[in-house]
Amino acid sequence: MKAIIIEDENLTARRLEGLLKKYDPNIAVLALLPSVEEAVEWLETNPEPDLVFMDIHLEDDLAFKIFERIRLQAPVVFTTAYDEYMIQAFKVNSIDYLLKPINYDELVQALEKYKSLKNRYAQPNLDVLMQYIGQKEQPPYKTRFMVTVGTKIKSIETKDIAFFYSEEKMTYLVTKEGQHLPIDFSLDKLTGLVNPADFFRISRQSLVNFQAVQAAHAYFKGKLKLDVLPKSKVELLVSSDRVTDFKEWLGR
């Protein structure tokens, strides 16, 4: 079997690739594609794979844009973090799905279903799906992140994250317990993934959770310096051009 993975979280994509190899070492993962643009380009220039694993929210748009731009005949297994009512929409349309973080046993079930249906597979009814997902609406905010802790892959709930920061071209999340863990997202991408009622981009380097902020102090050049819990090993400074918006956000 030849497959591609369309997924903008590199860690998630690599883990799924590993689970596919565990199921069958002969499965060839031809490409890991993080965006609509890259997926379309790859599909236009390569033979279709036997199976496509597709995240719904990619780094540049909803994955359904792929179907609008090319005629994709290969069966699709969607990966999603949607609530149960969203899952029902996929079931109604006979679409396989994997709920993140991906469980091996559920992956096996999806692959077995693919084998049983591959000769009579029907393309998803995108019109019905869009009624549930709301293509023009704000996408649901991310509720968890996949990270590497030592040799393990772990799911961190967004509500348990105190702040994000970037340093030396790497992005880290800091949990309320004080763990500093690298993640695959840039701060620009993270800003659109987390609920702005809970998180504020205080500078180009930092994004903080409201619950982590303990106090704000006047700093030079019109900036604010934040005291947070857990204590940060990097300075968390509110840029002078964001101070007014930050104060308004704190007072909501």
Residue 88's domain is classified under what CATH number? Answer: 3.40.50.2300
Is residue 224 domain-resident? yes
Query: In the listed set 103, 133, 163, which residue is the last one of a domain according to the structure?
Result: 133
The reply to whether 26 and 118 lie within a common domain is yes
The reply to whether 125 and 161 lie within a common domain is no
Is residue 209 domain-resident? yes
CATH number, domain of 163, equals 2.40.50.1020
The reply to whether 75 and 13 lie within a common domain is yes
The reply to whether 9 and 115 lie within a common domain is yes
Query: What three-state secondary structure class fits 208?
Result: strand
* Higher-pLDDT residue of 130, 216: 216
The reply to whether 128 and 28 lie within a common domain is yes
Angle at the Cα of 32 from the Cα atoms of 7 and 168, rounded to 5 degrees: 80
- Report the C-alpha gap between 193 and 9 in whole angstroms: 12
The reply to whether 14 and 125 lie within a common domain is yes
pTM, full prediction:
0.60
The reply to whether 169 and 241 lie within a common domain is yes
Is residue 148 domain-resident? no
The reply to whether 170 and 212 lie within a common domain is yes
Residue 177's pLDDT band, with cuts at 50, 70 and 90, is very high
* Higher-pLDDT residue of 95, 56: 56
Mean residue pLDDT of the chain comes to: 85
Long-range contacts of 131-138 (CB under 8 A, 24+ apart): 131/89, 132/85, 132/86, 132/89, 133/56, 133/62, 133/64, 133/86, 133/89, 135/62, 135/64
Q: What is the pLDDT of residues 36-74, one digit of tens each?
A: 999 999 999 999 999 999 988 887 888 888 888 888 888
The reply to whether 30 and 111 lie within a common domain is yes
Is residue 138 domain-resident? no
Range of the domain at 91: 2-133
Is residue 143 domain-resident? no
pLDDT of 102 reads: 86
The reply to whether 12 and 121 lie within a common domain is yes
Is residue 190 domain-resident? yes
The reply to whether 109 and 213 lie within a common domain is no
Does the pLDDT value for residue 106 go beyond 60?
yes
Q: What is the DSSP letter of 176?
A: T
| Count: domains in the chain | 2
Distance between alpha carbon 90 and the CA centroid of its chain, in Å? 19
Q: What is the 3-state secondary structure (H, E, C) of 3-47?
A: EEEECCCHHHHHHHHHHHHHHCCCCEEEEEECCHHHHHHHHHHCC
The reply to whether 157 and 117 lie within a common domain is no
Query: In the listed set 100, 133, 166, which residue is the last one of a domain according to the structure?
Result: 133
Does the pLDDT value for residue 139 go beyond 60?
no
Query: What three-state secondary structure class fits 111?
Result: helix
Does the pLDDT value for residue 219 go beyond 60?
yes
